[in-house]
Amino acid sequence: MKAFTPEIEVAIARTRDEVAALHSELVRNGLVAWTGGNVSGRVPGADVFVIKPSGVSYDELSPENMIVCDLDGSIIPDTPGSERAPSSDTAAHAYVYRNMEHVGGVVHTHSPYATAWAARGEAIPCVLTAMADEFGGEIPVGPFAIIGDDSIGRGIVETLSGHRSRAVLMRNHGPFTIGRDARDAVKAAVMLEDVARTVHIARQGGEPLQIPQGAIDSLYDRYQNVYGQHAKAVLP
């Protein structure tokens, strides 16, 4: 068993609790069906992250069956949960953590409205002030990539690097979101589905009105710095 310091052991335990609990938000917000979807969180101060096991029912998820992986996506042996297979999207999560060091959480779902935009390979235009607040503009589309190598992770990183959006619509697949920590990435997944749905509905009845770019910029700036109980760290 790999020797972590006591401080890291505490941080791992806390991340297990947090990641396990956050999965219930995917269910509560209608983002996932059956065992689909996954949340991971980077352990502060260590080169490891915590992720959901593969194909396990949401009712059975607990801190103990979360899986600890290193940044190559390999399971840390002899840790709780290490006897199980991690989420089949683990390689994509690991790629993001290796290449975006400010990212502390990653979420993947097939939430229906966001995935519908992804199926058409169409970015979601920023026609809501809530999108400007949360994502700073449109939600971009990532490339078509199938599981089995680094191509999903690479597609996420290439699309989101230098972009304000914490969400990417992987073509014909579904959304990935990133955040400061796992909770922030889950929030992005929830807000993404909300705006994907609202803009879809809006467009069914005609063309939504544009928001001037200057207004988008100032909404994004204010929200990233002022909203909530304390100013938020801005993602690069």
Query: Taking the CB of residue 42, how many other CB atoms lie within 10 A of it?
Result: 24
Residues 17, 70, 133, 150: which is the catalytic one? Answer: 133
Q: How many chain residues interact with a second copy (CB under 8 A)?
A: 61
Residues 95, 113, 173, 223: which is the catalytic one? Answer: 173
Told to judge if 113 belongs to the known catalytic residues of this protein, a careful annotator would answer no
Helix or strand or coil: residue 180? coil
Which of 184, 44, 169 has the alpha carbon at shortest distance from 113?
A: 169
Among 22, 69, 91, 128, binds a second copy (CB under 8 A): 128
Do 124 and 169 contact (CB within 8 A), yes or no?
yes
DSSP states of 13-41 = HHHHHHHHHHHHHHHHTT---TT--EEEE
Alpha-carbon distance of 25 to 35, in angstroms, equals 14
Alpha-carbon distance of 137 to 129, in angstroms, equals 9
Among 10, 85, 233, 234, binds a second copy (CB under 8 A): 85
Look up residue 30 and give its two tokens: 């209608």
Told to judge if 93 belongs to the known catalytic residues of this protein, a careful annotator would answer no
Find the part of the chain contacting a second copy (CB under 8 A) among 41-49, 95-103, 155-163, 169-177.
169-177
**CA-CA-CA-CA torsion sign (193, 198, 202, 204):** positive
How near is the Cβ of 68 to a second copy at its closest, in Å?
A: 17
Q: Phi and psi for 10 in degrees, rounded to 5?
A: -65, -40
Residue placing its CB nearer to a second copy in the complex, 10 or 33: 33
109 binds a second copy (CB under 8 A): no
How near is the Cβ of 139 to a second copy at its closest, in Å?
A: 14
| Interface positions, 9-28, toward a second copy (CB under 8 A) | none
211 binds a second copy (CB under 8 A): yes
207 binds a second copy (CB under 8 A): yes
Alpha-carbon distance of 172 to 163, in angstroms, equals 21
Task: Please count the helices (runs of H) and the strands (runs of E) in the chain.
Answer: 7, 7
80 binds a second copy (CB under 8 A): no
How near is the Cβ of 45 to a second copy at its closest, in Å?
A: 26
Told to judge if 110 belongs to the known catalytic residues of this protein, a careful annotator would answer yes
Show which residues are catalytic: 108, 110, 133, 173, 227
Q: Which residues bind a second copy (CB under 8 A)?
A: 29, 33-36, 53-56, 84-85, 88, 110, 112-113, 115-117, 119-122, 127-130, 144, 146-148, 171-174, 187, 190-191, 193-194, 197-209, 211, 215, 218-219, 222, 226-229
